[in-house]
Amino acid sequence: MNLEQAPLQVVWEMTRASDAVCEECRKQQPPGRHPDELTTAEGFRLIEEVKRFAPPGGSLPALVFTGGDPLQRPDLMQLVQYAIDLGIPAEVNCAHSALLDADAMEDFCRAGVKRIVLRTDMPGAPLAALGVARQMSLDVEMETAIHAGTIPHLDAIAAIAAQAGVKMWTILFPVCVEPGHPESDLRAAEYEEAFETIWRISRDAPFAIRTGNASHYRRFVARKLMESGHVEHPQPAPIASQREAWELAGVNAGRGLVFISHLGDIHPSGDLDLLAGNVRTEPLVEVYRGSSLFRALRDPDTREGKCGDCEYRCVCGGSRARAFAMTGNFLAEDPRCFYHPGPMPHGQRPMERIEMA
Ligand code: SF4
């Protein structure tokens, strides 16, 4: 898939309403649905727009129905079914709430949902839904948001993922939670420690692993692969074979990803709070392909600071959400990356320039 022309994932935040209790959620969830959420009819039109991303016979992006809790919308299954009938792979990112019961899982199975996404942040988190999904042979992705307190538990959480038979473990790194807060963004050195653990787990894990807001994990992976002689240069891998493992595909906010808010606003990702348009007034396909924001995000040569000088900018490029949150400049270098690009002395490999504290 050509990421200039189409994303791999369109993420639609159908509603922010949720009954789930989530101490680590990135957004404060209001108790009820917003009166100006996209309507069912507007949802149908959005789904038809997603269909327009692919040429006839070409592959389509996955459409992720998320929230809040998408089960708060009574039209969820109607919209999911419409997407599937149009050939769009549908995924549902569910909150752990009373609405996520065996009936809801059965509905997902019957409709042909490609994957459900369930959040598990700590070993003691509610796991009943994982068991039910496994019984029904639903393809499950597990999401885990991590902070410094989570890192010691990564092996235990990975064991849960293996036991539950998940296909993908997505590890979400927070973007600039206030300094001193226990769930704050990791320091650059802590990222390297987390990456070492994630890499070790990934070698034997029966599931794929990807990171959110930590594209520099791809630099870490590229270094490991170069050291082992598997790749010679840090270049993006062919997308077609890397759908499940984004490690080297260079997917980032606005490059392979687009986020639609509950009000229809078009953002490069759910954590990059920059607006490129609204699906009520602008065609999603044209905004993704042609807006100056999305084009700048897809061009690795627009990066500034050390990300602009970095030989890993095509596979990594840094977290644009973190750069924007911490500096106000979405093209600035990622402040949470330890790597320092520079002239490479003869015989030295890129990773050797990383300064470990
Ligand atoms: S300097 Fe920037 S592009 Fe290079 S590895 Fe770090 S975050 Fe990625």
Q: Give the CATH number, domain containing residue 231.
A: 3.20.20.70
Per-residue confidence (pLDDT) for residue 46, from 0 to 100: 98
Tokens standing for residue 357: 């504290």
- Whether 338 lines ligand 1, by a CB cut-off of 6 Å, is no
Low-confidence residues of the chain: pLDDT under 50: 26, 238-245, 247-248, 345-357
- Whether 306 lines ligand 1, by a CB cut-off of 6 Å, is yes
Per-residue confidence (pLDDT) for residue 55, from 0 to 100: 77
- Residue whose CA is closest, atom 2 of ligand 1? 307
Distance CA 30, CA 34 (A): 9
DSSP state of 272: B
- What is the whole-number distance in angstroms between the Cα of residue 303 and the centre of ligand 1? 10
Q: Which amino acid is at 33?
A: R
* Residue numbers of the domain that contains 68: 9-300
Contact 179, 156 (CB under 8 A): no
Residue 113 covered by a domain: yes
Q: Which residue has the tokens 């990222």?
A: 191
pLDDT tens by residue, 72-122: 999 999 999 999 999 999 999 988 888 988 899 999 999 999 899 998 887
Residue 315 covered by a domain: no
| Cα-based angle 187, 171, 246 (whole degrees, multiple of 5) | 110
- Whether 322 lines ligand 1, by a CB cut-off of 6 Å, is no
- Whether 337 lines ligand 1, by a CB cut-off of 6 Å, is yes
Domain count, the chain: 1
- Whether 353 lines ligand 1, by a CB cut-off of 6 Å, is no
**Closest ligand 1 atom, CA of 334?**
7
Q: Which amino acid is at 243?
A: R
Per-residue confidence (pLDDT) for residue 233, from 0 to 100: 58
Residue 39 covered by a domain: yes
Per-residue confidence (pLDDT) for residue 184, from 0 to 100: 74
Residue 329 covered by a domain: no
Residue 228 covered by a domain: yes
- What is the whole-number distance in angstroms between the Cα of residue 249 and the centre of ligand 1? 15
Longest CA–CA span in the chain (Å) reads: 63
| HSE value, Cβ hemisphere, 13 Å, CA-based, for 140 | 26
- Whether 69 lines ligand 1, by a CB cut-off of 6 Å, is no
Classified as helix, coil or strand, 202 is helix
Question: DSSP letter string over 152-175?
Answer: GGHHHHHHHHHHHT-SEEEEEPP-
**Closest ligand 1 atom, CA of 311?**
4
Residue 217 parent element (H or E): helix 216-227
Residue 171 covered by a domain: yes
Per-residue confidence (pLDDT) for residue 235, from 0 to 100: 55
State which of 299, 309, 313, 330 you would mutate to test the pocket of ligand 1, scoring each by most atoms of that ligand within 8 A of its C-beta.
Answer: 313
Contact 182, 145 (CB under 8 A): no
- What is the whole-number distance in angstroms between the Cα of residue 217 and the centre of ligand 1? 9
- Whether 305 lines ligand 1, by a CB cut-off of 6 Å, is no
Phi/psi at 112 (nearest 5 deg)?
90, 30
Residue 322 covered by a domain: no
